[in-house]
Amino acid sequence: MPWISETAKKISWDRIEELVDATLAEARARICAAPKRVLLLPPDITRMHSGSGRITEMLYHRLADEAEVHLIPTLGQHVPHTPHENRQMFGSVPEERIHVHDWRDGCVKIGEVSADVVRETSGGVADWAMPLWLNRMLIEESWDLIINVGHVVPHEVLGFANHNKNYFIGLAGRELLNTSHMMAATCGIENNLGCLITPVRECFNRAEEQYLSHLPDLYVQLVLARDDEGELVHTGVHVGDDLETYLAAARQSRDENITIFDEPLERVVCVMQGDEFFSTWVANKAIYRTRMAMADGGQLTIIAPGLKRFGEQDEIDDLIRKYGYIERERILELYKTNEDMQRAANGTAHLMNGTTDGRFQVTYAPGHLGREEIEGIHFQYADINETLARYQIEGRREGWNETADGERFFYIPTPSAGLWATQAKLDQRVDFAAEA
């Protein structure tokens, strides 16, 4: 059970500071009374709006006088932070204490999730082993205390983000990233989104119990929702060292972060913040989180002022440029014979998640990419300045809005913070695992 579980319409930063102090008191009582080496594992800058970085900064300074404290942003395969981005995310944490996760050469193998388990949890849809390659610094160095900090929100691979996602994706190596993402995509993105326990989550839960139970760790799980003024605020803080801590946060997120419609939406406009989202690899969350609400033949416009590439890594960028977001079945067909798709299977999975299968149209208004590039990956292009002038997003709140000439659209200012779906789409999901 969670050590701390607090929910409210709005949890102030003053209260969060008190909860950080309470977290450390619990950690000293339950894990280590006087930690000398501490590892902090927060998300990367794509979760900056969650306040996880600020909480990580609080933890650092409360521990730094008594312990050697290190920090690894759980990047997965995302682009490492620049020093400027580290300051944006983690404030005054010294740069030399922030370490880059190296998914190519900085991991060691600790075991595997067997093909039998993968087959069992996926109902036979996936049938390969999942090699567990994790960050060398996490595994090989000695730690008295490990604190995971993160935002629990609907997610396309694990149903809800964070918890042991920090380890098995955020600090994972290539083979684990490939096999886990391909497993999730093969099960189907709409069968993962908003589910408490997905097939991949079940595999990770078993792997954590088998291989990581010795770690002196805990989780600080945050839930955010919009208040009456439309601002994204903290509504939940759940702290503990077990699966129930995740489930408490995920249940709250399910209640607060999923918007359900009776009828599908014909016209949706989203914005992906320019200081967080620089690639379609992450900006496509606008597609993931709205796809279950979109009407057949509908139009999704994504305003992305920071967009300057497709993949987070050159290899994935090349893959996206080569194949584009084509139909899911066509991607699976190509995957069988194309070595580049097999080598970068997590990229192939991303293409499967990002396609609309022709059901609705996606238009990107990017800050730094041209028409030819956007249309080359099978999306529509719109000029960002013309789009901003038309939709006047500054100050708009989530919900139904109208342009000056009468176009009605549903506006979502932070797609990465929730999930939008019709009840019919939710009812159509395949239940791979009984909900906890």
Percent of the chain with pLDDT over 90: 95
pLDDT at 46: 84
pLDDT at 250: 98
Q: How far apart are CA 351 and CA 374, in angstroms?
A: 14
pLDDT at 433: 64
> Can you give the residue ranges of every domain in the chain?
4-258, 262-427
Taking only the tens place, the pLDDT of each residue in 204-250 is 999 999 999 999 999 999 999 999 988 999 999 999 999 999 999 99
Q: How confident is the model at residue 381 (pLDDT cuts 50, 70, 90)?
A: very high
Q: How confident is the model at residue 339 (pLDDT cuts 50, 70, 90)?
A: very high
Out of 273-277, 331-335, 418-422, which region has the weakest mean confidence (pLDDT)?
273-277
Q: How far apart are CA 387 and CA 180, in angstroms?
A: 37
Q: How confident is the model at residue 48 (pLDDT cuts 50, 70, 90)?
A: confident
Whether the CB-CB separation of 190 and 95 falls below 8 Å is answered with: no
Torsion of CA 206, 78, 251, 15, to 10 degrees: 120
H or E element: which one contains 400?
strand 399-402
CB atoms within 10 A of CB 129: 15
CB atoms within 10 A of CB 18: 13
Taking only the tens place, the pLDDT of each residue in 130-183 is 999 999 999 999 999 999 999 999 999 999 999 999 999 999 999 999 999 999
pLDDT, averaged across the chain: 96
Q: How confident is the model at residue 395 (pLDDT cuts 50, 70, 90)?
A: confident
Q: Where are the beta strands (DSSP E) in 183-226?
A: 217-226
Q: How far apart are CA 166 and CA 164, in angstroms?
A: 5
For residues 408-435, give the mean pLDDT: 90
* Nearest alpha carbon to residue 220 among 238, 203, 202, 204: 238
Percent of the chain with pLDDT over 70: 99
Full DSSP string of 258-297:
EEEESS-EEEEEEE--TTT--BHHHHTHHHHTTTTTEEEE
Q: How far apart are CA 283 and CA 388, in angstroms?
A: 17
For residues 342-365, give the mean pLDDT: 96
For residues 255-262, give the mean pLDDT: 98
For residues 71-75, give the mean pLDDT: 97
Taking only the tens place, the pLDDT of each residue in 88-125 is 999 999 999 999 999 999 999 999 999 999 999 999 99
pLDDT at 435 over 60: no
pLDDT at 39: 98
pLDDT at 432 over 90: no
Distance of CA 420 to the CA centre of its chain: 16
Give the CATH class of 262-427. alpha beta
| Beta-sheet pairing, 4-7 with 232-240 | antiparallel
Q: How confident is the model at residue 434 (pLDDT cuts 50, 70, 90)?
A: low
Look up residue 36 and give its amino acid: K
For domain 4-258, which architecture applies? 3-Layer(aba) Sandwich (3.40)
298: alpha, beta or left? (left if phi > 0; alpha if psi -120 to 50) = beta
For residues 361-382, give the mean pLDDT: 98
pLDDT at 430 over 90: no
For residues 422-435, give the mean pLDDT: 84
